[in-house]
Amino acid sequence: MAKLGVNIDHVATLRQARGTVEPEPVLAASMAELAGADGITMHLREDRRHMQDRDLALLRDTVRTRLNLEMAPTQEMVKIALGVKPDMVTFVPEKRAELTTEGGLEVKLAKDELNKYIRLLQDGEIAVSLFIDPNIDQVKSAHKVGADYIEIHTGRYAEARNRKEEEREFNDIVNAVKIGSKLKLGINAGHGLDYWNIKRLLQITEIEEYNIGHSIISRAVMVGMERAVQDMVEIIKTGSTKNF
């Protein structure tokens, strides 16, 4: 059965909006774990717009499941990761002006740097995932640079405006997953997933873990963190969205 990684960045977004000490991302992470999350994901952005270095250190001390650190492939971030030792680093492209991560990595364009950073992290016993679009060339390049995992960007699938677009995006994801699986890459998926659009993806049994943030935190605002996580866990377990 697939796993759920809960991305708690938006808890920090709310805290930073007022520059106060609440809501506390560490508490959100613990509650997500108690409600059945298999892992906690956070993105330490270069501009520190939501998560802070202090959050990363505290989460490393308190997360009892697995901590996945999303970050840009830069020397500064690799140094931070090697100091903190999350269970996994997911490299994502980062642009200062974007609201959220917009696209996957262009792996080939940065292959030498990626290869170097991946080795450094693996030597520090940190697994490395690359966030890529569902594109066969990107999957092959991720394998070539030595990644352990890929995280397939599901944003275009999530934003499909009609059945035809959804079909095309779904098929792209299936094809990318098949190739990744053949190449023995671990496969995660995420971005834009919610309590409805995840259902179809659950047919793709090679996907090991879903990283979901916005929809869970949005629901948590209304019904509480525990219930929001439990609802998503139930969908992933049963493959059914009928109660949601």
Q: Give me the catalytic one of 10, 50, 70, 94.
A: 70
Q: How far is the CB of 91 from ligand PXP (least distance, A)?
A: 9
What is the x/- site pattern for ligand PXP, positions 164-203, by CB under 6 A?
A: --------------------------xxxx----------
43 noted as active-site residue: yes
List the one residue from 11, 26, 78, 90 that touches ligand PXP (CB under 6 A). 90
Give the tokens for residue 57: 């250190």
Active-site residue flag, 191:
yes
Based on the shown chain and the rule CB under 6 A, indicate whether residue 7 belongs to the binding site for ligand PXP: yes
Check binding of 38 to ligand PXP (CB under 6 A): no
Among 30, 65, 101, 138, binds ligand PXP (CB under 6 A): 101
Number of residues that bind ligand PXP (CB under 6 A): 19
Binds ligand PXP by CB under 6 A, chosen from 38, 70, 209, 231: 70
- Residue 134 as a binder of ligand PXP (CB under 6 A): the answer is no
Hey, which residues are catalytic here? Answer: 43, 70, 191
